[in-house]
């Protein structure tokens, strides 16, 4: 079993729909990260969470430390949101390496 | 916000030659740099972790003599792919961290290497 599990693996939705991507982890973490990888390959850090909820524009990320679960929500989805969304956790080792989920490929159709 | 500049973005080289990829943190001190490789339709795979002034720590299966990492300053790390072969063709991306917990990671824009 992977230490970071994401679901769904693939998601196709219509423009305007509310999107939820889930992430569960099984290790102790110092923080959970949501990242976005565009088709060209570039990676953008969206959120870093250690508790509660964060919001940035149409993106909302929540984390439940007790349940070891996080969700990324996109409101009023748009075709430009199409990307791979990756959940990753950082531990407490000396280098704070990221443990990566497999990613969720999101396609928003106009 | 924090920015990591990665160059080149694309490179095509002949088999047997060496290619250097550079990652530079523009507005923060990158105590720790992570180098990843990504093959098509696969997840990022960590190749090595480097701390400024120290030798890099390579992941299992990554040849340290082939993928030379230099992290001589707090703002610059380089990955040199030596004696490149077509199977080294991949997307390489760096990620920099100030090395303190919960200070986040900033990614370079990636380098697409094609070895012909």
pLDDT number for residue B78: 95
State the Cα–Cα distance between residues A21 and A26, nearest whole angstrom.
17
B-chain residues near A30 (CB < 8 A): 101-102
Could B102 and A90 be called an inter-chain contact, meaning their C-beta atoms sit closer than 8 Å?
yes
Could A100 and B44 be called an inter-chain contact, meaning their C-beta atoms sit closer than 8 Å?
yes
Residues of A with CB under 8 A from a CB of B: 30-31, 33, 35, 40-45, 48, 50, 86, 90, 92, 95-98, 100, 102-103
- Asked if the model's pLDDT at residue A62 lies above 90, the reply is yes
Could B105 and A30 be called an inter-chain contact, meaning their C-beta atoms sit closer than 8 Å?
no
A94 confidence band (pLDDT: 50, 70, 90): low
pLDDT number for residue A98: 86
Task: State how far the alpha carbon of B36 is from the alpha carbons of A16, A21, A22, A54, in Å.
Answer: 34, 24, 24, 27
pLDDT number for residue B103: 67
Write the residue in A42, A44, A97 that is nearest to B34 by C-beta: A97
pLDDT number for residue B41: 81
Residues of chain A with pLDDT > 90, as a percent, come to: 77
Judging by beta carbons within 10 Å of its beta carbon (0-12, 13-18, 19+), is residue A87 exposed, middle or buried? buried
Nearest CA among B54, B89, B90, B88 for reference residue B69: B54
pLDDT number for residue A95: 63
B33-46 pLDDT tens trace: 999 999 888 888 99
Nearest CA among B94, B107, B95, B90 for reference residue B11: B90
Residues of chain A with pLDDT > 70, as a percent, come to: 95
Give the pLDDT mean for A37-41. 88
Could A42 and B110 be called an inter-chain contact, meaning their C-beta atoms sit closer than 8 Å?
yes
Q: How many CB pairs under 8 A join A and B?
A: 56
pLDDT number for residue A75: 97
Beta bridge mates, A5: A24
A97 confidence band (pLDDT: 50, 70, 90): confident
B-chain residues near A33 (CB < 8 A): 104-105
Give the pLDDT mean for A60-69. 96
pLDDT number for residue B55: 86
pLDDT number for residue B67: 97
Task: Give mean pLDDT in consecutive 10-residue pieces for chain B, a chain of 116 residues.
Answer: 90 97 90 91 89 88 94 91 96 86 81 96
CA distance A48 to chain B (A): 7
Give the pLDDT mean for A43-69. 94
């Amino acid at each position: 079993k992977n230490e970071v599990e994401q679901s769904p693996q693939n998601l196709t939705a219509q423009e305007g729909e509310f999107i939820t991507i889930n992430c569960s982890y099984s290790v102790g973490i110092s923080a959970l990260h949501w990242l976005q990888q565009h088709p060209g390959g570039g990676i953008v850090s969206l959120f870093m969470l250690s508790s509660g909820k964060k919001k940035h524009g149409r993106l909302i990320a929540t984390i439940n430390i007790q349940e070891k679960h996080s969700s990324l929500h996109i409101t009023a989805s748009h075709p430009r949101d199409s990307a791979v969304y990756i959940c990753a956790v950082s531990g407490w080792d000396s280098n704070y390496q990221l443990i990566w989920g497999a990613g969720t490929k999101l396609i928003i159709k106009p | 916000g924090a920015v990591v500049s990665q160059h080149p973005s694309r490179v095509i080289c002949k088999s047997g030659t060496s290619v250097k990829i550079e990652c530079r943190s523009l507005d923060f001190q990158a105590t720790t740099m992570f180098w990843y490789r990504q093959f098509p339709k696969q997840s990022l795979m960590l190749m090595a972790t480097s701390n400024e002034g120290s030798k890099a720590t390579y992941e299992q299966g990554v040849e340290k003599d082939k993928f030379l990492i230099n992290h001589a300053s707090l703002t610059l790390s380089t990955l040199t792919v030596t004696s490149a072969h077509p199977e080294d063709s991949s997307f390489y991306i760096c990620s920099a961290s100030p090395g303190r917990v919960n200070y986040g990671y900033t990614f370079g824009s990636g380098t697409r290497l094609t070895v012909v």
